Amino acid sequence: MTAAALFESLAIPIIQAPMLGASGPAMALAVTRAGGMGSLAAGGLAPEDIVEQIAALKAATDRPFGVNLLIARAAAPDPAIVTEALERLAPWHDRLGIELPAPPNDYAPDFDAQFAALLAAAPPLASFTFDVLNRDQVAALQAAGTLVVGTATTVAEARAWAAVGADAICAQGGEAGGHRGEFLKPGPESLIGTMALVVTVRAAVDLPVIAAGGIMDGRGVAAALSLGAAAAQMGTAFLLAEEATIGKPWRGRIESAPDDATAVTRAFTGRHARGIENDFMRALRPVEGEVPDYPVQNRLTRDMRAAGGRLGDSEVLSLWAGQGVSLTRAGSAADLVQAWWDEAREVSAALHARTHGPDGHRR
Ligand SMILES: Cc1cc2nc3c(=O)[nH]c(=O)nc-3n(C[C@H](O)[C@H](O)[C@H](O)COP(=O)(O)O)c2cc1C
């Protein structure tokens, strides 16, 4: 099946975005069963868990779903940089009453082992972010029956994914919550809005495009399809779903988020990401350019963030969310997907009336 045929086959062209730390297999299955396409965020999983969770999803549904990996290289940072970074975090550990961690041996899961597990488990679709695969990796997935989606934040990145043979592009605008997929230029130089990105990527590459970033309801879904996207991918809009795996402090900050709640920071992970602004982000802003690159800083702040979650201190948590966060609604993932699709149909009918007049003739 081609990617275009897969997206066309969805009863509801809404893709639940993979969200490491916020979505699990239950959400992926609920959205897939509701007629959209769920995604398993596998970036933090051990290879054996990737195989097991994909097998469980395949057993639970005949419909297509996606699996997402973060393309992260092994890190071997200079010990002096690690010590300096830990010293910077010391006051935050004191505040939480926890020990500063010792310099770790491992900073991120082994991507090659995760990739091998994904290849063996052969999900219907796999998406990747943070970098681009090589041609052989893409061809191997396709030979196993897995469609390949590459995340792009610029037209140049979309072209790079097309050049290695990807089946579709996820065009991820600067509105998006969490980390984005930039790999050719730094995050702040890759903050193109979803509306401009989707149409320019469509014009540049002859592949189906998934629109992501700032899509919060049926109006956004209809807009994405009007721009020529094959499907709309929504992340932040699912954060208050019953199936979301976020803890109470994060959930509470989403429920009460003001309109202009988010900012982009590299303070938590060493890679630019968008989240609800809090004390940690504000305090590290003057030095955030100096924190070690992902995945080092991500690993070094892990204990602090885990303690913040346990102790209910949302000022030290990475509260990933996109620019539309104030519109996030609660409900089951299935009900949300159905409600957004109903809204998209209403919006489309209203647009038809506007363009064709009340008697159905073109104005
Ligand atoms: C909490 C959170 C975690 C995310 N984790 C991932 C991830 O693991 N892999 C990925 O490709 N994108 C990740 N993203 C980005 C989403 O896949 C998606 O592109 C983005 O949420 C779309 O923008 P929106 O949040 O405005 O809907 C994450 C986003 C959020 C909000």
261 in any annotated domain: no
Domain count for the chain: 1
Instruction: List the one residue out of 250, 280, 246, 247 whose CA is nearest residue 265.
Output: 280
* Residue 188, domain extent: 3-72+108-251
53 in any annotated domain: yes
212 Cβ closer than 6 Å to some ligand 1 atom: yes
84 in any annotated domain: no
Instruction: List the one residue out of 168, 181, 177, 213 whose CA is nearest residue 195.
Output: 213
Identify the CATH number of the domain in which residue 242 sits: 3.20.20.70
Q: 162 CA distance to ligand 1 centroid (A)?
A: 22
Helical pair 25-33 and 333-356, crossing angle rounded to 10 deg: 40
240 in any annotated domain: yes
Q: Which residue has the tokens 């320019």?
A: 200
| DSSP summary character for residue 177 | S
315 in any annotated domain: no
321 Cβ closer than 6 Å to some ligand 1 atom: yes
341 in any annotated domain: no
235 Cβ closer than 6 Å to some ligand 1 atom: yes
Instruction: List the one residue out of 37, 243, 271 whose CA is nearest residue 149.
Output: 37
246 in any annotated domain: yes
Instruction: List the one residue out of 158, 157, 163, 124 whose CA is nearest residue 141.
Output: 124
Tens-binned pLDDT, residue by residue, of the chain (363 aa): 999 999 999 999 999 999 999 999 999 999 999 999 999 999 999 999 999 999 999 999 999 999 999 998 889 999 999 999 999 999 999 999 999 999 999 999 999 999 999 999 999 999 999 999 999 999 999 999 999 999 999 999 999 999 999 999 999 999 999 999 999 999 999 999 999 999 999 999 999 999 999 999 999 999 999 999 999 999 999 999 999 999 999 999 999 999 989 999 999 999 999 999 999 999 999 999 999 999 999 999 999 999 999 999 999 999 999 999 999 999 999 999 999 999 999 999 999 999 998 777 766
Q: Model-level pTM?
A: 0.97
